[in-house]
């Protein structure tokens, strides 16, 4: 059933689902060959070319299409199926980690060679924002091969693929045998890399267990229990810097960022890179009270999962949600880790692309 209201068309389906479709929405979504480039499915129609108070002359439902007649005699066609599809979920829903959570492991070869397994792995990755690949090659720069599933490497300053070992170049605490508290990399970029793969080429040292922390789960708890803390952490800019003789990165941003609908979108946390906050800034005390609470949560067992990353394993995290940490180790053997960044969008979209085959 169709009814033209004051500013919209009300469409009631047989299933009793009711859509309230604003006139401009209807005009903008016309699927005719004039309004779209047929081959690429791109929109060609420009919204500003019609008046903002545009109103249909008549609307009818024909062969499961909405047919709209406009005053300028343009005839729009919108398949109802297409309207229905717009509310379907593109990716798996985000899920909290179950108790005693350990990341799901997939064989490196199978993940790269079998599409069906890659889909499963990527779906898992989107749900929990972490997976592990096992039996990966022990050759340097093998992370390049992950491009097949995660898209091309997202390069940053320093190295394209970072080497982390105690014998390498020391530009941060990771290159020592000290423990590394939970953090995500490059908090010193306004747009931090959002996927990080950590490839353990060899791990013969005692200790050095890997720890991951669900930053979003902690942020959600904070939002429920201490809304004032949550509020300040999502509004207060914090400075971060990472540098060496040849490189300089610096950004000021809040620790928590939300989407317009209030969903947590990204989490920024790095004790090691955080810089002195200008003490004359407003709300420094309020920030520190909240930051103390958040730091406590980052070290609480409730949000973390701990395991040993063995030689030949690659830990992959969506790093705007999942922080990584490492316990201290005894440098009594070889320990060589390489890491690189990727784009989350490329990983998630591969679920859709691979599912089409
Ligand atoms: Fe790191
Ligand atoms: Zn059209």
Q: Are residues 77 and 185 in the same domain?
A: no
Q: Which ligand is nearest to the CA of 78?
A: 2
What separation in Å is there between the alpha carbon of 143 and the centre of ligand 2? 46
**What is the Cα gyration radius of the chain?**
25
pLDDT of residue 171: 58
- With vertex at residue 93, the alpha carbon angle to CA 266 and CA 83, rounded to the nearest 5 degrees, is 110
What separation in Å is there between the alpha carbon of 183 and the centre of ligand 2? 50
- Give yes or no for residue 213 having a pLDDT over 60: yes
Q: Is 97 part of a structural domain of the chain?
A: no
Q: Is the dihedral of CA 150, 151, 152, 155 positive or negative?
A: negative
- With vertex at residue 350, the alpha carbon angle to CA 347 and CA 354, rounded to the nearest 5 degrees, is 150
**238-270 pLDDT, tens digit each:** 999 999 999 999 999 999 999 999 899 999 999
**87-127 pLDDT, tens digit each:** 999 999 999 999 999 999 999 999 999 999 999 999 999 99
**3-56 pLDDT, tens digit each:** 999 999 999 998 999 999 999 999 999 999 999 999 999 999 999 999 999 999
Query: Which range marks the domain in which residue 175 is found?
Result: 105-355
pLDDT of residue 357: 72
Determine how many CB atoms are found less than 10 A away from the CB of residue 197: 23
Q: Which ligand is nearest to the CA of 29?
A: 2
C-alpha span between 16 and 240 (Å, rounded):
53
Q: Which two tokens stand for residue 217?
A: 């789960």
3-state SS assignment for residue 310: coil
Q: Are residues 27 and 141 in the same domain?
A: no
pLDDT of residue 172: 65
Q: Which ligand is nearest to the CA of 272?
A: 1
Q: Are residues 121 and 177 in the same domain?
A: yes
Q: Is 93 part of a structural domain of the chain?
A: no
Q: Which of 337, 357, 356, 354 shows the shortest CA–CA distance to 112? A: 354
How many domains, the chain? 2
Q: What are phi and psi of 250, to 5 degrees?
A: -155, 135
Q: Is 96 part of a structural domain of the chain?
A: no
Q: Which residues contact 17 (CB under 8 A, 6 or more apart)?
A: none
Q: Are residues 35 and 151 in the same domain?
A: no
- With vertex at residue 332, the alpha carbon angle to CA 329 and CA 335, rounded to the nearest 5 degrees, is 65
3-state SS assignment for residue 258: strand
Residue 133 DSSP class: E
Q: Are residues 237 and 298 in the same domain?
A: yes
Q: Is 21 part of a structural domain of the chain?
A: yes
What separation in Å is there between the alpha carbon of 347 and the centre of ligand 1? 20
Pairing of strands 329-330, 180-183: unpaired
H/E stretch holding 339 reads strand 335-342
What separation in Å is there between the alpha carbon of 185 and the centre of ligand 1? 5
The CATH number assigned to the domain holding 45 equals: 3.30.2020.30
Q: Are residues 110 and 248 in the same domain?
A: yes
3-state SS assignment for residue 231: helix
Q: What are phi and psi of 78, to 5 degrees?
A: -135, 115
Q: How far apart are the first and last CA of the chain?
A: 37
What separation in Å is there between the alpha carbon of 137 and the centre of ligand 1? 21
**266-307 pLDDT, tens digit each:** 999 999 999 999 999 999 999 999 999 999 999 999 999 999
């Amino acid at each position: 059933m169709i009814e033209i209201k004051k500013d919209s068309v009300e469409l009631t389906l047989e299933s009793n689902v009711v859509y309230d479709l604003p006139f401009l929405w209807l005009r903008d979504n016309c699927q005719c060959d004039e309004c779209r480039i047929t081959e690429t499915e791109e929109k060609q129609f420009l919204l500003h070319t019609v008046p903002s108070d545009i109103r249909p002359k008549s609307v009818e439902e024909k062969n499961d299409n909405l047919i709209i007649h406009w005053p300028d005699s343009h005839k729009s066609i919108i398949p109802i199926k297409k309207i229905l599809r717009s509310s379907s979920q593109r990716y798996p829903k985000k899920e909290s980690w179950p108790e005693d959570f350990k990341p799901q492991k997939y064989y490196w070869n199978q993940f790269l060679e079998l599409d069906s397994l890659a889909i499963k792995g990527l779906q898992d990755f989107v749900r929990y924002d972490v997976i592990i690949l096992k039996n990966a090659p022990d050759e340097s720069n093998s992370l390049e091969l992950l491009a097949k599933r995660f898209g091309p490497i997202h390069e940053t300053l320093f190295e394209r693929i970072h080497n982390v070992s105690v014998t390498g170049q020391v530009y941060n605490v990771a290159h020592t045998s000290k423990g590394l508290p939970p953090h995500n990399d490059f908090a010193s970029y306004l747009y931090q890399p959002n996927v990080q793969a950590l490839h353990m080429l060899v791990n013969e040292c005692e200790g050095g267990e890997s720890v991951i922390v669900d930053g979003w789960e902690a942020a959600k708890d904070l939002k429920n229990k201490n809304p004032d803390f949550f509020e300040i952490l999502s509004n207060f800019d914090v400075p971060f810097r990472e540098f060496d003789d040849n490189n300089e990165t610096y950004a000021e941003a809040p620790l928590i960022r939300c989407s317009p609908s209030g969903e947590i979108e990204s989490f920024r946390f790095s004790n090691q890179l955080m810089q002195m906050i200008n003490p004359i800034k407003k709300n420094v005390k309020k920030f520190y009270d909240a930051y103390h609470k958040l730091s406590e949560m980052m070290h609480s067992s409730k949000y973390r999962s701990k395991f040993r990353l063995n030689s030949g394993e690659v830990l992959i995290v969506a790093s705007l949600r999942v922080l990584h940490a490492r316990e201290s180790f005894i440098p009594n053997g070889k320990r060589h880790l390489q890491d690189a960044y990727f784009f989350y969008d490329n990983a998630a979209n591969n679920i859709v692309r691979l599912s089409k085959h």
